Chain A
Amino acid sequence: MKLSSEEIVQELNRIFDEEVEAATRYLHLRSAVRGLDRVLVERILKEGFDETIRHAEVIAQKIRALGHVPRLEIQVSCPSEPVSGREALRQALTFEEAALECYQDLLRKVEGDVVLEEFARSQIATESEHVAQLKELLSE
């Protein structure tokens, strides 16, 4: 079933929410992480933040290209508690997996729209790489 332009924008807005929220979480986790591996994990979280913000910008551009203004609707609450490097990476993995699923859903929904299909595929490739890297770091 082909999605209308409005429905596509709705889907993209949802992913925009996910990416901006993930960036906010990365930002918070970077300040919350404590322990011996803090320096290393901080760097990984900074890269995650930069990459996520870039994704959010790309989504915003896609929405703009469809003649709409992105709508942002997020509600983030991050506790004022320190987290270990491992816990920070585990949380990052949780929301990176959520983002990956969003793009997988998008790909299913935009089947037939070559441009959006390609976009979804490339995002899936990038997000899958992130997820794999985080899983590797978290493996014992």
Chain B
Amino acid sequence: MDVWKEYEHNEITHSAAHHLMAIDDLVEKLGYARVSDVARRLNITRGSVSISLQPLKKAGLINQDENRHLQLSEVGRQLVHAIKTKRLLLQRLFHEVLGVEPRQAEIDACKLEHLISNETANRLVSFLRFVDSDESRARELLRLWAEFDPSCAHEPGRCPSCETHCMEETVPLPPRAPADRAPPGRRPEVSRK
């Protein structure tokens, strides 16, 4: 199986995911969603929204009533809820566990939310449940992680993560103080938008 081609088999595109989430948010907030509301929310033109909604209607993810109000179908709703859950899980993983700065965690979660499989999301839920299950154990895990010195000897052959090239050289990072990381044992606020 060509793993790289799996991306093409993804259920929906990034743009489609945001159109569906915008409809869901608007219906929740206003009780209805029109093309103009979606356009305003996504800061794109109505023409663009109308064109993007065509394949989603065809796929049975959204319905439009006689007043031109948009609604998610049951399948669409399930898809949106799965994407929102995945975003939250990824945000928590990146920020609370890995210590990625909140804004970057949100951006990266947004990029991946519609791409990861349900299988991976389920394992992520399990892992976060493990972290949440026992305050002292989670604190200890995060403390050990925060104290861990990730510097390496630049010996790719001996590092399972690097194999051929040293990751520190191939994925350069801006220098950060250790204090930038989320302190162990404390749950920083994660936006649930």
Residues of A near any B CB (own CB < 8 A):
14, 17-18, 21-22, 25, 73-77, 91, 94-95, 97-99, 101-102, 105
Contacts and interface: CB of A to CB of B under 8 A. Distances in A.
Contacts of B47: 18, 21-22, 25, 94-95, 98-99
Interface of chain B, helix or strand or loop or mixed? helix
B36 A95 contact: no
28 contacts: A14-B45, A17-B45, A18-B45, A18-B47, A21-B45, A21-B47, A21-B48, A25-B47, A73-B43, A74-B44, A74-B45, A74-B48, A75-B44, A75-B48, A77-B15, A94-B47, A94-B50, A94-B51, A95-B47, A97-B50, A98-B35, A98-B46, A98-B49, A98-B50, A99-B46, A99-B47, A101-B35, A101-B36
A18 B50 CA distance: 11
B67 interface: no
Contacts of A95: 47, 50-51
Contacts of B15: 77
Given A76-B48, A101-B46, A94 B36 contact: no
Interface in B25-83: 35-36, 43-51, 54
Nearest to A100: B46
A97 B43 CA distance: 19
Q: Is the interface of A mostly helix, strand, loop or mixed?
A: helix
B54 to A, nearest CB: 7
A25 B45 CA distance: 12
A98 B50 CA distance: 7
A53 B155 CA distance: 60
> Which of B44, B46, B48, B50 has the largest count of A CB atoms less than 10 A from its CB?
B46
Of B15, B43, B46, B47, the most chain A CB neighbours within 10 A belong to B47
A140 B17 CA distance: 33
A91 to B, nearest CB: 6
B55 to A, nearest CB: 11
Contacts of B35: 98, 101
Contacts of B46: 18, 98-99, 101-102
Nearest to B68: A101
Nearest to A18: B45
Nearest to A105: B36
Given A98-B35, A101-B35, A101-B36, A91 B51 contact: yes
